[in-house]
Structure 1
């Protein structure tokens, strides 16, 4: 039985899309079953191919990656989505997370980090690039939209704080229920109650609340990540080697393409 992760790549630059396909195929453990050039094609492939995971660019022609991700999550909520983009402003990150994506990766990362992100989201966890993660947590803690850590602590009951800590560690409702000797339905009710009390819309913001409250230090410390080669291989260098013609070499230093 084939246990490879079935991937659809949504990227409107042919060179970048082809490079990703080649690297994933060479890596093993991944089957690239579809390639979309815009958000509309990505939505169609999500429905017809039912992939396990989609790599989603944001700035595609026509339907953008955020709108496509939101549409895909409404119709196929089990499809995991990792955004791969140059956009690192808070506005883009928040909109992508609200659309339901599980991962947000910048195009200047190494191929190894992209693989880590893909593995984490397939394990039911979230992944943000280190730079994005840092300023999103800072923004969340100091911003006006979210309750301050002390206030959040006071709002939640002791039981809710216990549930929140376990959820933030990446456990499913069933796993949390088994740990606390409660039913998955009860855990779901706790989750909904916490989100209502804290006026937040999704699991990612709930995890950030847990971090700001000191319930866990860092998502990375709680995730069991596969061991990878100590020597980083950057996406830009890998993609340069995929090119056979002189004009296809010399990609920008930040990785997978300009203005994406």
Structure 2
């Protein structure tokens, strides 16, 4: 990784922001470019400044993190958003996945794991805590039972299935390209086709689809 990841911290608690900045300052590939105290400020910052990743609290005044996630992803789908929250609750995660979140971590996460998650998201990976995966899959299956049919699965080419399996394993585009001996541009093209065919918006939803369809094991 040759360039620094431009990261925005969105949290209404100053002690949390200061603690995060201190933790992230030890990682040379992460640069905290700004701090905001509510979701509206996060949206405004992303509109005016280059940002790679937003570390987003959920419960904030004026605009919460869920609505901020929706607006930021609509503004720029390439911005990765990691929810950092005290809430281990399904409804938050389901909403955030729907809007294209890249990661969901609890505030008691170990600093090393937080840094690893940020670096992974910057490489195109997604992260959902293992403790929540089963519940998310159950809800995802319930909500999408009418949309995710065998026919859609059969529409995928053999190469697209290979790429989808790698996505479900949390592999970045670069890692997938290396594993399948193709270019990163080809991986991106395959992902565009896969998302369209199975009716999802992002890697996290594609990974959940692959697990539901038993293309990979949990």
TM bracket (short chain)? 0.7 to 0.9
Aligned to 1:217: 217
Does structure 1 conserve the Cα–Cα contact (< 8 Å) formed by 2:163 and 2:190?
no
- Structure 2 stretches lacking a partner, 5+ long: none
| Deviation at residue 159 of structure 1 after TM alignment | 3.6
SS of match in other structure, 1:211: helix
> Equivalences for 1:100-119 in 2 at 5 Å?
100-119=100-119
Q: Which has the larger radius of gyration?
A: 1
2:169 matched to 1:157?
no
Separation in 2, partners of 1:71, 1:114: 24
Deviation track 1:151-199 (CA, whole Å, cap 9, x = no partner) reads 7445422644651441342365x958948xx89657634531221xxxx
TM-score by length of 2: 0.81
> Equivalences for 1:106-255 in 2 at 5 Å?
106-141=106-141, 143=142, 145-146=144-145, 152-157=149-154, 159-160=156-157, 162-170=159-167, 172=173, 175=177, 178=182, 188-195=192-199, 200=200, 202-218=202-218
- Structure 1 stretches lacking a partner, 5+ long: 219-260
Aligned to 2:49: 49
Aligned to 1:63: 63
Aligned to 2:15: 15
| Deviation at residue 57 of structure 1 after TM alignment | 0.4
Separation in 2, partners of 1:160, 1:49: 39
CA RMSD of aligned residues (A): 3.0
Separation in 2, partners of 1:67, 1:84: 15
Question: Are the structure 2 counterparts of residues 3 and 162 from structure 1 closer, same or farther at C-alpha, using a change threshold of 3 Å?
Answer: closer
Does structure 2 conserve the Cα–Cα contact (< 8 Å) formed by 1:7 and 1:51?
yes
Separation in 1, partners of 2:213, 2:187: 25
Separation in 2, partners of 1:26, 1:75: 30
| Deviation at residue 46 of structure 1 after TM alignment | 1.0
SS of match in other structure, 1:83: strand
Flag the structure with more relative contact order, 1 or 2, with Cα contacts below 8 A and sequence separation at least 6.
1
Separation in 2, partners of 1:183, 1:135: 29
